[in-house]
Amino acid sequence: MDIWIQQLINALTIGGMYTLVAVGFTIFFGVLRLINFAHGEVFMFAAFVALAVSSICVAVGITNGPVVIILMFLFAMGTCAALGGLLERIAFKPLRGMPPLLLLVTSLAVGIVIREAVKEFYPEGANPQAFFSPYAYNTFQIGGVTLSYTQIGLVAVSVILVFCVYLLVTRTWMGRAMRATSEDRDAALMMGVDVDAVIRNAFFIGSALGAAAGVMNGLFYQSVRFDMGWVMGIKGFTAAVIGGLGNVYGAIFGGYALALFEVLVVALVPNGSQYKDVFVFMILIAILVFRPSGLLGTPQEKVG
């Protein structure tokens, strides 16, 4: 029994990260019909920004754990929101109105640029880097379940952020405009929605959320690499596809569902931890073939 609770909490932790990345995928697709494969690299970039922040903090003598962690989140999310906005402006906006495939290929190229830039220009960027995670070994027991403070913190952060996204999407003008734009961009334009502003905001929000996931990933695994964005990109994309691309609630569901599935594979399949990615990609393929609009999605009628 305890082992299941333990696994469930693991699922919540990584599910939070998947969800945060998936929300980005889904809103980029919603507003721009863009499958943004640079998003995984933004996630990785955030982890390196946070790593740099922690190094600088240590260098100037700020060693108070919570302060450093808060600074890491703030800087990583801020930098990546700006980076997302920049990508939108220089890489995707000039291609407005072009076929979605062109945007997709552009996003791959942008992703390569970010990945290689980190590898080349971050000191020792090609090697795995130890990540500052002061509470990873501070654990406590409830019944037979061992929990680290980091894990509890990460679950809390992701749930809070996901809840903020939910509020943003359901309760605000911007969220309503975003959902309207996702359904029918031209109709939204003609109803007076400033679609350019919606797209810009989507990139700020999506990238900042991906950045939060990047920092969480570093804190959880205590190590970051320049090439960790690719797998996370595919996982986030899979989570978004499970929920139906363009559907924010779907991405939230998809992120946690995917994590739960992964944890179950690890627990139930012999040598499961080695095969979990295989199962994830099988899920991706199966959903793309049989339910391309996702488990929650209503079929996408109009595209473009």
Instruction: Tell me which residues touch other proteins (CB under 8 A).
Output: 164, 167-168, 171-177, 179-180, 183-184, 186-197, 201, 298, 301
Minimum CB–partner distance for residue 191 and other proteins (Å): 5
Q: Go through the chain and tell me how many residues it has.
A: 304
Cβ proximity of 14 and 84 under 8 Å: no
Minimum CB–partner distance for residue 204 and other proteins (Å): 10
Residue closer to other proteins, measured from CB, 14 or 177: 177
Q: Are strands 145-148 and 129-130 parallel, antiparallel or unpaired?
A: unpaired
Minimum CB–partner distance for residue 196 and other proteins (Å): 8
Cβ proximity of 80 and 45 under 8 Å: yes
Q: Assign residue 131 a region: left if phi > 0, alpha if psi is -120 to 50, beta otherwise?
A: beta
113: its two tokens? 């640029």
Q: Which residues of 8-32 are buried (b: 16+ CB within 10 A; e: fewer)?
A: ebbbbbbbbbbbbbbbbbbbbbbbb
Minimum CB–partner distance for residue 5 and other proteins (Å): 32
Minimum CB–partner distance for residue 37 and other proteins (Å): 26
Residue type for position 64: N
Minimum CB–partner distance for residue 167 and other proteins (Å): 6
Residue closer to other proteins, measured from CB, 70 or 105: 70
Residue closer to other proteins, measured from CB, 3 or 164: 164
Residue closer to other proteins, measured from CB, 152 or 174: 174
Report the alpha-carbon distance of residue 186 to residue 133 in Å, rounded: 47
- 175 vs 15, 30, 77, 205, 249, CA distance in Å? 23, 12, 20, 11, 12
Residue closer to other proteins, measured from CB, 126 or 160: 160
Minimum CB–partner distance for residue 86 and other proteins (Å): 20
Report the candidate in 242, 228, 266, 5 with the shortest Cα–Cα distance to residue 119. 228
Residue closer to other proteins, measured from CB, 273 or 298: 298
Report the candidate in 27, 32, 25, 15 with the shortest Cα–Cα distance to residue 196. 32
Cβ proximity of 201 and 86 under 8 Å: no
Residue closer to other proteins, measured from CB, 40 or 175: 175
Report the alpha-carbon distance of residue 152 to residue 147 in Å, rounded: 7
Contacts 24+ apart (CB under 8 A), 173-179: 174/198, 174/201, 178/27, 178/30, 178/31, 178/202, 179/30, 179/248
Report the alpha-carbon distance of residue 147 to residue 190 in Å, rounded: 52
Residue closer to other proteins, measured from CB, 108 or 189: 189
Minimum CB–partner distance for residue 36 and other proteins (Å): 21
